[in-house]
Amino acid sequence: MKKLLFLLALTALVQGAFADDQVFFCGFEESEGYALGPITGQNDWTELFSHTVNMYDVTNVFSFTGDQSLFVYGPREGGDTGVKKTVEYENPYKGKILFTYMLKPGDTYVRMYLYDKVGGESHRMAVVHINTHELYVDAGGTWSGGDPKLSADEWYKVTLLFDPIDSVLEDFTLGDDITIDQVRDYCDPEASGDLGSFAIRTGWNDPTDACVDDITIELIPEPACVGLLALASLCLSRKLV
């Protein structure tokens, strides 16, 4: 009986160790330490470029879950601006990285930039440009998604799946049924593929009026690693018999 209980506990440990590991979540809520107003300086969000006329504000006007979200606004003369957030986890990570966020799009771009971190330097891995009528995914070469026909009154889930081992953007989805037929290598050939930070930026000299909410990063171990632990579990179980 003790051997069976030990085996069950070991199996649960293996499954738990290799379940999807959420390493980052940001819902911009008061319970997470976010106050209404500019996000720069809150929870280590920093200014990527000067945004004196653009807004990256925590607001309670719209939200996907909870009460608050990040409102992104930039007038046409705002130029290229942004806010950046570093991601803390064990690096390098030998598995896939699932990056998701909710977007309430406007008529012009909200851009999500993803960067790696190599020896203190960062390299651009991928960029997603989305508005109500245009979709571009830039990951080694711009892919045009055409007109996604989105509504400015609805929230859409954006999903990017990275394979850091092969350094590719493996999958992309927008909403329930918008995908891309072709994925490309990372933007910067020197990028490691290991996510180190991300940035939210307005459109390039275009007005932006949109909201972002519920940013999530999960680590998904490679099947080979799961197999090794399962094999170890099997070997131990035989010794117990």
Could you list the beta-strand ranges (E) of the chain.
21-26, 37-38, 46-49, 55-59, 69-74, 82-86, 95-104, 110-116, 124-130, 135-138, 142-146, 156-163, 168-174, 178-179, 195-202, 208-221
Average pLDDT over residues 75-100: 80
DSSP 84: E
Residue 166 one-letter amino acid: D
Distance in Å from the first CA to the final CA of the chain = 11
Q: What is the mean pLDDT of the chain?
A: 78
Query: Within the chain, how many helices (H) and strands (E) appear?
Result: 2, 16
Task: Give CATH for domain 20-222.
Answer: 2.60.120.200
Closest CA to 110 of 85, 76, 73: 73
**127 close to 112: Cβ distance less than 8 angstroms:** yes
- Chain segment 203-216, per-residue pLDDT in tens: 765 556 899 999 99
Q: Please, which residues have CB within 8 angstroms of residue 1's CB and are 6 or more apart in sequence?
A: none
**In the chain, where are the structural domains located?**
20-222
Average pLDDT over residues 42-56: 84
Structure confidence at residue 142 (pLDDT): 64
Average pLDDT over residues 105-124: 84
Q: What is the pTM of this model?
A: 0.81
Ranked by mean pLDDT, which of 29-33, 48-52, 86-90, 114-118 comes out on top? 29-33
